[in-house]
Amino acid sequence: MADATAPFCISGATGEWEVVVGLEVHAQITATASKLFSGAATAYGAEPNTQVSLVDAAMPGMLPVPNRECIRQAVRTGLALDAVINRWSRFDRKNYFYADLPQGYQISQLFHPLVGEGEVEILLDENDEATARRIGIERIHVEQDAGKLMHDQHATMSYVDLNRCGVALMEIVSRPDMRSPAEAGAYLRKLRAILRYVGSCDGNMEEGSMRADVNVSVRRPGEPFGTRTETKNVNSVRFVMATIEHEARRQVDLIEEGGTIVQETRLFDPDRGVTRALRSKEDAHDYRYFPDPDLLPLELDEAFVEECRASLPELPDAKRKRYEGVGITPYNAAVLTAEVETARWFDALLEAGAAPAQAANWVAAELFGALNRLGKSMEECPVAPASASELLGLVADKTISTTLSKQVFEIMLETGEGAAEIVEKRGLKQTSDTGAIDAAVDQVLAANTDKVEQYKSGKPQLFGFFVGEVMKAMAGKANPQVVNERLRAKLD
Ligand code: ADP
Ligand code: MG
């Protein structure tokens, strides 16, 4: 894999180029079951046109009523991104005609967005704080989604599904602060993690609850920004990265051939990994934006904002630092906080009394390994944190060895029995009984006289072999420390 932290440059025929990226992320507010200005449902995958109110269908005389919970979730999201919350904001109409937009305009926010400047910190290499970068957030505004057109396979008929019409979106606009596909990928993953911690958006890119418009330009290092293109509606982290790679290369080639970049809207074709022109880019004035006369400005009082702030959970960065503070390695801390389900599960494990560093190693190696083998996600984790804590406790107090704990864990997964119960019922308790251990040591040394000779004549690495044999002879139940001591006593 390429080093994500190396400066990313594109070599053209005439020298090096730098890529500049800004992302506009549309995140659906999935925390509420109804739309931004109507009570219609927003469930994914419903029959077409079954979740459409008269407001969404733009019947004459219908009036929009803001969904308080949507505003609350957008404010919580803004606070989680360290952003300014604008206590006074306003909705505007963005006018355009399309068959999936019965109103003839989208209610959005242009002039006075709900959320102002903020930032997201990304870490390109979990083991190295020096690879941290701050990506600026320009604004977050709240707006309605449009419906969806579907075309039959003979391309003779088109159908419209208005279910998504009026669904609440947060448009999270970054500054043009990213300089490589890897930075854009890290930003999107981090943003998605924060949204999922906050709970405002489920971040499900397959279901379209998060998608990105990818703005890309190239320039000579140190020169002013070049003209950008905007690739619309890219719906996975991988595709966003591929869009940037392809688009930057295309722009460099075009400029070097003497062409100029036109500001335009493009589409990413995932099958071919290329972008293609869709239309020349329109400017804000083409949309004849004006304040929506059906809606009063939004005025938030301090108590509302403070309630939003108080409702925020511990966020990924704070959690990662807390984990590092209790002796968890930076790598494990990053892995354990990357997904909210993992972090919640791990917090419950710590609350159940597990020792942090040991627990982190166990989750990263044993639990993730098991989930992987079982093809299960963290949400479907078959062991409860309390049961795992019991298992780790048995290792910590030396009732069982680490080696044996792997077997016990397997049995837990198979039978659902508790760790202590398994150890008790199957007689797996670790023994420090020197009589039994000495007997096993003697037996192993007697059966391997050749290796004992080699060891004594200068092959210390054979020590591990003897330990392994003694453990085997004792069915894994001997206390490894005692085995070490007794072997040393007899051999050295
Ligand atoms: P619009 O609403 O027309 O798309 P904005 O000014 O809101 O335009 O910018 C949209 C996005 O484009 C932002 O994410 C911003 O960071 C990004 N952007 C602006 N200029 C550039 C540039 N020269 N290269 C790459 N991205 C850019
Ligand atoms: Mg845009």
CATH of the domain at 438: 1.10.10.410
Calculate how far, in angstroms, residue 79's C-alpha sits from the geometric centre of ligand 1. 22
Distance CA 230, CA 461 (A): 61
- State how far the alpha carbon of 247 is from the alpha carbons of 229, 240, 244, 391, in Å: 8, 10, 5, 51
Q: What is the pLDDT along the chain (492 residues), one digit of tens a residue?
A: 456 677 788 888 888 999 999 999 999 999 999 999 999 999 999 999 999 999 999 999 999 999 999 999 999 999 999 999 999 999 999 999 999 999 999 999 999 999 999 999 999 998 888 999 999 999 999 999 999 998 888 878 999 999 999 999 999 999 999 999 999 999 999 999 999 999 999 999 999 999 999 999 999 999 999 999 999 999 999 999 999 999 999 999 999 999 999 999 999 998 888 888 988 877 878 899 999 999 999 999 999 999 999 999 999 999 999 999 999 999 999 999 999 999 999 999 999 999 999 999 999 999 999 999 999 999 999 999 999 999 999 999 988 888 889 999 999 999 999 999 999 898 888 888 888 899 999 999 999 999 999 999 989 899 999 999 998 898 888 888 889 999 999 888
The DSSP code for 44 is T
Q: Which residues line ligand 1 (CB under 6 A)?
A: 20-24, 173-176, 215-217, 225, 228, 230
Are residue 375 and residue 485 in the same domain, yes or no?
no
Name the domain boundary from 254, 287, 307. Answer: 307
Closest ligand 1 atom to 173 CA: 14
For residues 170 and 27, the answer to whether their CB atoms sit within 8 Å is: yes
pTM: 0.89
Is the domain of 71 the same as that of 166?
A: yes
Q: Are residues 334 and 461 in the same domain?
A: no
Task: Please check whether residues 439 and 416 belong to one and the same domain.
Answer: no
Same structural domain for residues 59 and 160?
yes
d(CA 240, CA 67): 31
Same-domain status, 172 and 280? yes
- Tell whether 2 is covered by a domain: no
| Nearest CA owner, ligand 1 atom 22 | 228
86: containing domain = 9-307
**Considering only CA atoms, which of 182, 234, 191, 211 is closest in space to residue 338?**
191
Cα-Cα-Cα-Cα torsion 256, 258, 264, 265, nearest 10 degrees, comes to -40
Residue 140 CA to residue 78 CA, distance in Å, equals: 7
Separation of alpha carbons 247 and 466, rounded Å: 60
**Residues by chain with Cβ below 5 Å of ion ligand 2:** 24
Number of separate domains in the chain: 3
413 belongs to a structural domain: yes
Q: For residue 359, which of 396, 413, 408 has the smallest C-alpha distance?
A: 396
